[in-house]
Structure 1
Amino acid sequence: MTGLPPPGAPLGHYVSDAPFDPLAAERAAEAAPAVAATQGQVMWWKFRRHRLAVISGLFLIAMYLVVAFAEFLAPSTVDTRNVERIYAPPQALHLFDKGQFVGPFVYGRDMTLDLDTLRRVYTDDTSRVEPLRFFCHGAAYRMWGLIPADLHLFCPANGGELFLLGSDRLGRDVLSRIIHGARISLTIGILGVTMSFALGLILGGIAGYHGGWIDLVIQRVIEVLQSIPTIPLWMALAAIMPVTWSPIVVYAGITVILGLLDWTGLARAVRSKLLALREEDYVLAAQIMGARPRRIIARHLIPGFMSHLIASATLTIPGMILGETALSFLGLGLRPPVTSWGILLTEARNVSTLALYPWLLLPAVPVVLVILAFNFLGDGLRDAADPLR
Structure 2
Amino acid sequence: MGLIAGALLIVAYIGAAGAAFFAPYHYQRTALETRHVPPQKLHLGGGHGLHVYGLRASRDERTMELEFVPDPTQIHAVRFFSRGEEGSLHLVTSDGPMHLLGTDRMGRDLLSRMVYGARVSLTVGLVGVFLSMLLGSLLGTASGYWGGWADTLIQRVIELLAAFPPIPLWMALAAALPAGWSSIRVYFGITVILSLISWGGLARQVRGKVLSYREQDFVMAARASGAGHWHIITRHLLPGSYSHIIVIGTLAIPGMILGETALSFLGLGIRPPMTSWGVLLEEAQRVTVLLHYPWLIFPAIPVLIVVIAYNFLGDALRDAADPYSD
Give the TM-score normalised by structure 1. 0.82
Residue number in structure 1 paired with 2:27: 78
Please give the residue correspondences for 1:36-51 in structure 2 after superposition, counting only pairs within 5 Å. Answer: none
Once the two structures are superposed, what CA deviation does each residue of 1:128-170 show, in whole Å capped at 9, x if it has no partner?
2212011111133xxxxxxxx611111112xx11000000001
Q: Aligned partners of 2:306, 2:238: CA distance in 1, in Å?
A: 29
Instruction: Kindly name which structure, 1 or 2, has the bigger radius of gyration based on alpha carbons.
Output: 1
Residue number in structure 1 paired with 2:17: 68
User: Unaligned 5+ residue runs, structure 1?
Assistant: 1-51, 141-148
Give the letter aligned to residue 203 of structure 1: L
Q: 1:202 aligns with which of 127, 138, 141?
A: 138
Contact 1:77 1:139 (C-alpha < 8 Å) held by counterparts: no
Give the letter aligned to residue 273 of structure 2: P
Do residues 250 (structure 1) and 186 (structure 2) align? yes
Do residues 127 (structure 1) and 73 (structure 2) align? yes
Residue number in structure 1 paired with 2:258: 322
Do residues 94 (structure 1) and 43 (structure 2) align? yes
Q: Aligned partners of 1:104, 1:55: CA distance in 2, in Å?
A: 30
Residue number in structure 1 paired with 2:60: 114
Q: Aligned partners of 1:78, 1:86: CA distance in 2, in Å?
A: 14
Residue number in structure 1 paired with 2:94: 156
Contact 1:348 1:360 (C-alpha < 8 Å) held by counterparts: yes
Q: Aligned partners of 1:85, 1:373: CA distance in 2, in Å?
A: 35
Residue number in structure 1 paired with 2:7: 58
**Displacement after TM superposition at 1:377 (Å):** 0.5
Q: 2:309 aligns with which of 373, 380, 385?
A: 373
**Displacement after TM superposition at 1:85 (Å):** 1.1
**Displacement after TM superposition at 1:347 (Å):** 0.6
Residue number in structure 2 paired with 1:12: none
Once the two structures are superposed, what CA deviation does each residue of 1:286-320 show, in whole Å capped at 9, x if it has no partner?
01011112211111122123112111100011111
- In the alignment of these two chains, the number of paired residues is 325
Do residues 339 (structure 1) and 285 (structure 2) align? no
Once the two structures are superposed, what CA deviation does each residue of 1:41-95 show, in whole Å capped at 9, x if it has no partner?
xxxxxxxxxxx11011011111111111101111000111222211000001122
Q: Aligned partners of 1:138, 1:96: CA distance in 2, in Å?
A: 24
Contact 1:163 1:175 (C-alpha < 8 Å) held by counterparts: yes
Contact 1:196 1:260 (C-alpha < 8 Å) held by counterparts: yes
Contact 1:155 1:162 (C-alpha < 8 Å) held by counterparts: yes
**Displacement after TM superposition at 1:212 (Å):** 1.7
Residue number in structure 1 paired with 2:170: 234
Contact 1:74 1:176 (C-alpha < 8 Å) held by counterparts: yes
Do residues 287 (structure 1) and 223 (structure 2) align? yes
Give the TM-score normalised by structure 2. 0.97
**Which 10-residue stretch deviates more, 117-126 or 87-96?**
117-126
Residue number in structure 1 paired with 2:196: 260
SS of equivalent residue, structure 1 residue 348 = coil
Q: Aligned partners of 1:366, 1:260: CA distance in 2, in Å?
A: 26
Q: Aligned partners of 1:320, 1:271: CA distance in 2, in Å?
A: 22
Q: Aligned partners of 1:359, 1:95: CA distance in 2, in Å?
A: 23
SS of equivalent residue, structure 1 residue 216 = helix
Residue number in structure 2 paired with 1:23: none
Q: Aligned partners of 1:236, 1:229: CA distance in 2, in Å?
A: 11
Do residues 213 (structure 1) and 159 (structure 2) align? no
User: Unaligned 5+ residue runs, structure 2?
Assistant: none
Q: Aligned partners of 2:66, 2:55: CA distance in 1, in Å?
A: 12
Q: Aligned partners of 1:305, 1:254: CA distance in 2, in Å?
A: 28
SS of equivalent residue, structure 1 residue 276 = helix
Give the letter aligned to residue 41 of structure 2: A
**Displacement after TM superposition at 1:282 (Å):** 0.7
Q: Aligned partners of 1:220, 1:137: CA distance in 2, in Å?
A: 58
Identity of aligned residues (%): 54
Aligned-residue CA RMSD (Å): 1.1
